[in-house]
Chain A
Amino acid sequence: MADTVRTINSTISKQIRYHQAMKNHFGSILSVLFSLHTVPVLTLMVFLLPVLAGLTSTVLPAFGYLPVIGQISINTNAWGQLFAHPALPSALITSLSSGILATILSLIVSLSFVAAWQGTASFRKARRILAPILAIPHSALAIGLAFLIAPSGWIVRVFSPWATGWERPPDIAIIHDEWGISLVLGLMIKETPYLLLMILAALDQSQAKQRLKLAKTLGYHPIAAWVKGILPVIYKQIRLPIYAVLAFSLSVVDIALILGPTTPPTLSILVLRWFNDPDLNYRTIAAAGALLQLFVVICVIVTWWITEKAISRLSKRWLINGRRTFLEQPVRQVSKFSLNSIFLLFFGSLLVILLWSFTRRWRYPDFLPSVWSIQSWDRNIHNLLWSSSSTLIIGLISSFVAVVLVVVCLENEKRRGKTAGSGALWLVYLPLMIPQVSFLFGVQILTIKAGIDASWLAIIWSHLLFVLPYVFLSLTDPYRQHDDRYIKVALSMGISPARAFWRIRLPMLLRPLLFAFSIGFAVSVAQYLPTLFVGGGRFSTLTTEAVNLSASGNRRIIAVYALLQALLPLLCFIAALTLPNIVFRNRRALKEH
Chain B
Amino acid sequence: MGIKQTFTSAILFTGLALNLATPQSVIAQDQTTANQDWSKIETKAQGQTVYWNAWGGSELINEYIAWVGKRVWDDNKITLKHVKVTDTADVVSRVLAEKTAGKDAEGSVDLVWINGENFASMKKNGLLFGPFSENLPNYPLVDIENKATTTMDFTIPVDGLEAPWGMAKFNFIYDSARVDQTPNSSAELLTWAKNNSGRFTYPSPPDYLGSTFLKQVLVESVDDHKILRQAVTDEAEFKKTTAALWDYLDQLHPALWRDGKQFPVSSSAQQQLLDDGEVDIHLSFNPGAASSLIKSGELAPSVRTFVFDKGTIGNTHFIAIPYNSSSKEAAMIVANFLMSPEAQARKQDPEYWGDDTVLSIAKLSAEDQKIFSAIELGVATLPPQDLGPTLLEPHPSWMERIEKEWLTRYGQ
Contact = CB atoms under 8 A, between A and B. Distances in A.
Interface in B287-316: 296-298, 300
Interface stretch (A270-278, A306-314, A462-470, A513-521): A270-278
Contacts of B364: none
Contacts of A554: 59, 268, 296, 298
Contacts of B404: 86
A438 to B, nearest CB: 12
Nearest to A379: B59
Interface residues of A, number: 81
A173 B407 CA distance: 19
A364 B276 contact: yes
A450 B277 contact: no
A56 to B, nearest CB: 6
Interface in A306-337: none
Contacts of B276: 150-152, 169, 363-364
A451 B6 CA distance: 9
Given A445-B100, A448-B98, A173 B262 contact: yes
Interface string A25-56: 00000000000000000100110010011001
B92 to A, nearest CB: 6
A168 interface: yes
A340 B10 CA distance: 49
Interface stretch (A66-74, A207-215, A219-227, A484-492): A66-74
A153 B89 CA distance: 32
Considering residues A90, A176, A273, which has the most beta carbons from chain B within 10 angstroms of its beta carbon? A176
Interface in B1-37: 1, 3, 5-7, 9-10, 12-14, 16, 18-20
Nearest to B62: A383
B342 interface: no
A264 B204 CA distance: 10
A462 B258 CA distance: 41
A178 B262 contact: yes
B18 A67 contact: yes
Interface stretch (B115-123, B181-189, B327-335, B382-390): B115-123
Contacts of B117: 278-279
A450 B5 contact: yes
Interface stretch (B77-85, B138-146, B221-229): B77-85
Given A273-B206, A277-B89, A551 B268 contact: yes
A538 B51 contact: yes
A263 B266 contact: no
A287 to B, nearest CB: 13
B271 interface: yes
B10 A263 contact: no
A587 B57 CA distance: 52
Interface stretch (A11-19, A121-129, A452-460): A452-460
A152 B277 contact: yes
Contacts of A454: 108
Contacts of A66: 18
A264 B407 contact: yes
A380 B62 CA distance: 11
Contacts of B85: 537, 548
Nearest to A553: B268
A277 B400 CA distance: 11
Contacts of A361: 297, 300
Interface in B78-126: 81, 83-94, 96-103, 108-109, 116-118, 120-121, 125
A161 B407 CA distance: 37
Contacts, number: 212
B121 A280 contact: yes
Contacts of B7: 45, 49
Contact of B261 (A57, A173, A257): A173
A548 B266 CA distance: 13
B90 A537 contact: yes
B265 A257 contact: yes
Interface string B183-214: 00000000000000010000010100000000
B56 interface: yes
B157 interface: no
A278 B120 contact: yes
A441 interface: yes
Nearest to A50: B10
B47 interface: no
A536 interface: yes
Interface in A55-99: 56-57, 60, 65-69, 86-87, 89-90
B412 interface: yes
B57 A549 contact: yes
B269 interface: yes
Contacts of B262: 173, 176-178, 262-263
B251 to A, nearest CB: 18
A168 B276 CA distance: 8
A20 B263 CA distance: 69
A540 interface: yes
Interface string A121-157: 0000000000000000000000000000011100000
B58 interface: yes
B134 interface: no
A380 B268 CA distance: 20
B94 A56 contact: no
Contact of B13 (A446, A451, A555, A557): A446
Contacts of B365: none
A532 interface: yes
B408 interface: yes
Contacts of B265: 176, 257, 262
A171 interface: yes
Contacts of A409: none
Contacts of A45: 3, 6-7
Interface string A253-264: 000010000111
A552 interface: yes
A533 B87 CA distance: 13
A116 to B, nearest CB: 38
B411 interface: yes
A68 B93 contact: no
B20 A537 contact: no
Contacts of A373: 297
A142 B172 CA distance: 30
A176 B264 CA distance: 9
Nearest to B89: A276
Contact of A360 (B53, B206, B263, B297): B297
A545 B57 CA distance: 9
Contact of B125 (A69, A86, A536, A550): A69
Considering residues A275, A279, A555, which has the most beta carbons from chain B within 10 angstroms of its beta carbon? A279
Interface in A159-211: 168-169, 171-173, 176-178
A517 B111 CA distance: 39
Contacts of A553: 266-272, 298
A547 interface: yes
A544 B116 CA distance: 25
18 contacts: A53-B13, A68-B18, A68-B99, A87-B411, A263-B261, A278-B121, A279-B121, A280-B92, A371-B297, A375-B297, A449-B101, A450-B6, A450-B10, A452-B1, A536-B108, A547-B86, A551-B55, A553-B271
Given A53-B10, A65-B18, A278-B120, 4 more contacts: A52-B14, A152-B273, A280-B125, A450-B1
Interface of B: 1, 3, 5-7, 9-10, 12-14, 16, 18-20, 51, 53, 55-59, 81, 83-94, 96-103, 108-109, 116-118, 120-121, 125, 198, 204, 206, 257-258, 261-273, 275-278, 296-298, 300, 400, 404, 407-408, 410-412
By Cβ-Cβ distance, the 10 closest A-B pairs, closest first, are A553-B268, A152-B276, A551-B57, A536-B108, A86-B408, A450-B9, A278-B117, A552-B57, A448-B101, A276-B89
Interface of A: 42, 45-46, 49, 52-53, 56-57, 60, 65-69, 86-87, 89-90, 150-152, 168-169, 171-173, 176-178, 257, 262-264, 273, 275-280, 360-361, 363-364, 371, 373, 375, 379-380, 441-442, 444-446, 448-454, 457, 532-533, 536-538, 540, 544-545, 547-557
